[in-house]
């Protein structure tokens, strides 16, 4: 096989609690993550040697500063592959928006190279490699709905829902994940009680609509980002319920009852100048389709 095209989906955090700071500098979290059908395209083409990354649709570093490049380099080294690859990223997922686009691209590169070079590494091995690239990367090699604990790499699969409608919206202001977690660290002693999703997820199934949705990082991001606060208000006034920030923001998701409601609310958010689109949850992970 000489080339391969992979759909690389975004995720939302339906639930995110910061439990505490770990000795290794990361944070202990409890989260529910779900894939949605807003996807980047990841195109892989074999080369005799060397790694090349190109990007369309966004301004990203094409070389070693790109997580897709790091994923390719790590896979080649770990697997002992003698060869190269050209990775082209067609970006549609907003950058620095809490939707995991870079992590998804990295996971797609790992799964794609496994197929492109005819290897048979298990998903579990790929997830172990993925965990060294970033806390969210292993999730993008899961089935698509999971509870994440530890620093986000310990995954417990949950039973998927049929496709459910949401509106994703982003006000166009990047949020630094490291900044958001530093701010959260400074407030951990003030948050005496921690929210938990474990009792609701104990049976492996969560109810929809997610009236239980929650994101602790809203408490640090929203007061500092008026654009996020205004967009959340717009989505709520337009009928989204609940409306919750994903990850460290600035993206928000709004639960809606159907496609028509989603398209109308997305249009309303777009009219305010935000990126917005109606999407559905995914019951299957398109990245896994390349693993056979």
Q: Domain holding 254: CATH number?
A: 3.30.70.890
- On whether both 58 and 125 belong to a single domain, the answer is yes
> Could you list the mean pLDDT of each consecutive 10-residue stretch along the chain, which spans 292 residues?
96 94 82 98 96 93 89 96 95 95 98 96 96 96 97 95 98 91 81 86 95 96 95 98 96 98 98 98 97 78
- On whether both 112 and 76 belong to a single domain, the answer is yes
Task: Please tell me the predicted confidence (pLDDT) of residue 143.
Answer: 96
Residue 36 in domain: yes
Catalytic site residue 11? yes
- On whether both 74 and 38 belong to a single domain, the answer is yes
Task: Please tell me the predicted confidence (pLDDT) of residue 188.
Answer: 74
Contact 153, 31 (CB under 8 A): no
Catalytic site residue 90? no
Task: Please tell me the predicted confidence (pLDDT) of residue 22.
Answer: 78
Cα angle 90, 12, 197 (rounded to 5 degrees) comes to 160
Catalytic residue (one of 70, 136, 143, 232) = 136
Catalytic residue (one of 11, 70, 91, 232) = 11
Last residue of a domain, one of 130, 158, 186: 158
- On whether both 137 and 216 belong to a single domain, the answer is no
Number of structural domains in the chain: 2
Which domain does 154 fall in, by range? Answer: 3-158
Last residue of a domain, one of 132, 158, 184: 158
Residue 12 in domain: yes
Task: Locate 251 and state its tokens.
Answer: 């993206």
Owner of token pair 């995991």: 100
- On whether both 43 and 109 belong to a single domain, the answer is yes
Q: Please give the Cα distance from 139 to 131 (Å, whole number).
A: 9
């Amino acid at each position: 096989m000489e080339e391969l095209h992979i759909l690389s989906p975004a995720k939302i955090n339906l639930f995110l609690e910061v439990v505490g700071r770990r000795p290794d500098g990361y944070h202990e979290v409890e989260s529910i993550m779900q894939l949605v059908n807003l996807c980047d395209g990841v195109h892989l083409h074999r080369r005799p040697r060397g790694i090349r990354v190109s990007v369309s649709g966004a301004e990203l570093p094409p070389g070693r500063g790109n997580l897709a490049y790091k994923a390719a380099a790590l896979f080649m080294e770990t697997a002992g592959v003698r060869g190269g690859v050209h990775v082209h990223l067609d970006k549609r997922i907003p950058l620095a928006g809490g939707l995991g686009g870079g992590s998804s691209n990295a996971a797609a590169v790992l799964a794609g190279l496994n197929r492109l070079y005819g290897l048979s590494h298990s998903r579990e091995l790929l997830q172990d490699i993925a965990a060294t690239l970033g806390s969210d990367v292993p999730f993008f090699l899961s089935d698509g709905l999971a509870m994440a604990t530890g620093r986000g790499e310990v995954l417990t699969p949950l039973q998927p829902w049929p496709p459910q409608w949401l509106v994703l919206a982003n006000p166009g202001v990047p949020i630094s994940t490291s900044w958001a977690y530093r701010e959260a660290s400074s407030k951990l002693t003030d948050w005496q009680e921690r929210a938990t999703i474990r009792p609701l997820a104990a049976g492996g199934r969560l109810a929809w609509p997610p009236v239980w949705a929650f994101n602790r990082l809203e408490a640090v991001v929203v007061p500092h980002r008026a654009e996020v606060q205004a967009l959340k208000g717009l989505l709520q006034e337009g009928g989204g319920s609940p409306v919750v920030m994903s990850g460290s923001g600035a993206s928000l998701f709004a639960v809606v009852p159907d496609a028509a409601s989603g398209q109308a609310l997305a249009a309303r958010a777009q009219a305010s100048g935000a990126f917005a689109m109606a999407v559905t949850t995914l019951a299957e992970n398109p990245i896994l389709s390349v693993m056979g």
